[in-house]
Structures are given as structure tokens and as C-alpha cells.
Structure 1
Amino acid sequence: MDLILIRHPAVAIDAGICYGRSDIALADVPHASVTALKARLELPVPDLVWSSPLTRCRSVAEPWAAQWARKVSVDPRLQEMDFGTWEVQRWDDIDRALLDDWAADLHHARAHGGESVAQFSARVETWFGERQAEAGDACAHVVTHAGVIRVLVALALRVSLEQTLSWSIDFAGVVWLRRREPGAAWTLVRWNA
């Protein structure tokens, strides 16, 4: 199975703003983003295309899938983490003590009232477990968010989430994972291509 994870392109929001679960539009026209992505990379044709329901992903996944006459399967478990009251707030405006408390217990703290990292990871893990069980040797393209990609890579490669948090992934960056047969170990083919 090939699992090709595509981070959505740049969004129409100022830098330094927290926008996990918030539905923010793309900075560019989705078709232009798809054209640029296809020109930049040579990827295997997908058998399946999955997407987060948020506009910044779905608006890219639909024309992306249409290139191969594929249907997009939308799953809310592929949404970015819910940052609760921090959504659409400048990171610099969030109480430093709350940020420090969150960082001190990254997996379980919910200072913002949204999802904890543990809850978010469990949601993504459920999706991943189902896909592994049903996909066989299919090639799946997934248009999603940086946080989801990091959780999926941590699960697939059996590394800590903290490790993947230190790996940069650009807007419209691609991560390609491969598993030769069911039950076999996943390998990283490309990171941030």
C-alpha cells in the first residue's frame, strides 16, 4: 500500500494565527494549487482519495481526484486538531502561562478547551487503523493537515509524535509512506517533497 499524504496549500490568513479546526480558505485558487502540485511531483495514480472536510483540503482534493476520475471520500477524523478558544487567535496574544502549561503536558493538557493531543491522535489513529485493514495494496492520496500527517507518520513508522513535530512540512508538502504487504513495516519514501 502507498499512502501519499498531501498537506493543503497556503491559507488566506496572517502568519502567527492559530487555526486548527477553523475553516480557513486557501490563499490561491484550488485549481492553481493542484496544477502546481502535479507539475512539481510525479506520484503514482491513486486508487483512493481521502480528504479532511475543511475547505482548505476538500477544495484541493476534489480537482486532484477528478484528474483520475476518482471520488473523494471525506472523513472528519482527518481534520486538524481543535484548539478550542485559541482558534483564530494570534499565538502571541495567548496567555503565556497557558501555552507553558500545554507544552508541559503536551499529550493531555487542554488549556484551550479543545482536543488534547492524545484525543486528536486517537481520532487519527482510528482512521489509520481502518484504512490499513481495508486498503490492501491500494494507493491512497490523502489531502489533510500538518498535524494529521505528523500523527500518521508517527503511527506508521512507530516513532514518537515529538520526533515528527520537529520535522518541517511545507504548505502543499507531500509525505509518501509505503508498506509492501499487510502487516509489514511501513517505510518513508519521501518527506516534504
Structure 2
Amino acid sequence: MDLILIRHPAPAIDAGVCYGKSDVPLAGNASESALALAARLAALGAPLPQHFATSPLQRCADIAQRLAQHVGCACEIDARLSEIDFGAWEGQRWDAIDRAALDAWAADLRHARTHGGESVAQFEARIGAWLERWREPMAEPVSSVLAVTHAGVMRTIASLLLGEPLETTLKWPLQMAAIVWLRRGAPGGGWRLLHWNV
């Protein structure tokens, strides 16, 4: 099975602002971005998706709806593909957030909820629940899944499927509009990374 993940293009928000689950729009034209992504997917030889999903946040959903029209399939909106909820930090500049609060969060990355939003463990569980539908056995096997989502989601999926510590995948570069392609071999087999940040 192929799992292809697309990070949304640049949102219309200042650099350095925490915007996790905040619903900010795209900075650019969604139709043009979707056409560019379709061309990049074709150049990679990506299969047409049997299932297409997107985060409900408009910076993903606006692209996904246009990309779905281009490839001729329906797109499912799935809240489990939303970015992590940073609670009270949403909309604040990272450099304006209390240093002690950031340090407390970093000291217990998986379980701290200093901001009052989701812990990383809660975030992982939400994404893991989405991944469960693609695990064996499936009533109707699906050979290719495409999802438009967020950097945190993509790094967490990579961690969960490849068995890499999240602390490692958080360091992997991931540009706006980046494509990540993972593949599972035989049913019940392991996952491997075909492309990262292309």
C-alpha cells in the first residue's frame, strides 16, 4: 500500500507565529497550488489515490478539494488529520511565549499540556486512530491513500510507521507543500520511506 502525504502550502500568517490548529487561510492561490502539486505527483509516478483525505483546516482543505477534482476522486474531510492544538499559545509569537512554560513543555514533550491544548501523546493517539483504518485486515483493501495535512501530522505518521522516535522525525526538514511517500510491502509487512520532503 502507498501512503502519500502532502503538507499544505504556505499559510497567510506571519513567520514565527504559533498556529497549530488555528484555521488560517493559504497565502497563495489554491487552484494554482493544486495544479503544481498534481504535476509534481505525476512526475514522481505517484499512483492515483483510491482514498483521498484532508485535514478540515482551510489551508489543507482548499488545496485538497481542487486536487481531488483534478485527479477525479472524492475527498474525505477527517479531523484526525488536523495539526496539534497548542491551546493558549495559538496565535502568539513563539518568542513571546513564557520561556518557563516552553521549557516545561520541552522537558516532558510527550505528556505536558502547559498550553492547555493537546499533549503530544494525545496527538499521536488521534493520528494513530486514523492510521488504524489502513492496517490489515481491511474488508476492502486499498492500494493507495493520499492525504493533505500538516507537518506535525506527517512527522508523527513517519514516527509511528517507521518506528523512528518522534524526537528524530521532528528534526527532519519538511518544506511547505512537501510530499512524503511511504509504502508497505506484503500485507502485514513493514513500512519503508520512498520519498521525504520532495
Structures share a fold, TM > 0.5?
Answer: yes
Residue in structure 1 matched with residue 119 of structure 2 by the alignment = 116
- The alignment status of 1:17 with 2:17, answered yes or no, reads yes
Q: Following superposition of structure 1 onto structure 2, how do residues 1-193 of structure 1 map, counting pairs within 5 Å? A: 1-42=1-42, 43-133=46-136, 134=138, 136-193=141-198
The number of aligned residues is 193
Q: Secondary structure at the match of 1:67?
A: helix
d(CA) in 2 for partners of 1:78 and 1:181? 26
d(CA) in 1 for partners of 2:135 and 2:27? 33
Q: Secondary structure at the match of 2:133?
A: helix
- On the 8 A contact 1:177/1:187 being kept in 2, the answer is yes
- On the 8 A contact 1:6/1:142 being kept in 2, the answer is yes
The list of structure 1 runs, each at least 4 consecutive aligned residues, that deviate by more than 3 angstroms after superposition, is none
- On the 8 A contact 2:50/2:142 being kept in 1, the answer is no
> Which amino acid counterpart does residue 19 of structure 1 have in structure 2?
Y
Please, what is the CA RMSD of the aligned residues?
A: 1.1
Give 1:68 shift: 2.2
Q: Secondary structure at the match of 1:152?
A: helix
- On the 8 A contact 1:137/1:181 being kept in 2, the answer is no
- List runs of 5+ in structure 1 lacking aligned partners: none
The TM-score normalised by the length of structure 1 is: 0.97
d(CA) in 1 for partners of 2:72 and 2:179? 21
Instruction: Give percent identity, aligned residues only.
Output: 53
Give 1:137 shift: 4.3
- On the 8 A contact 2:51/2:142 being kept in 1, the answer is no
- On the 8 A contact 1:50/1:72 being kept in 2, the answer is yes
User: What's the CA shift string for 1:53-97, capped at 9, x where partnerless?
Assistant: 110111011111111221101111100000000001000110000
d(CA) in 2 for partners of 1:68 and 1:11? 23
d(CA) in 1 for partners of 2:22 and 2:142? 34
- On the 8 A contact 2:12/2:27 being kept in 1, the answer is yes
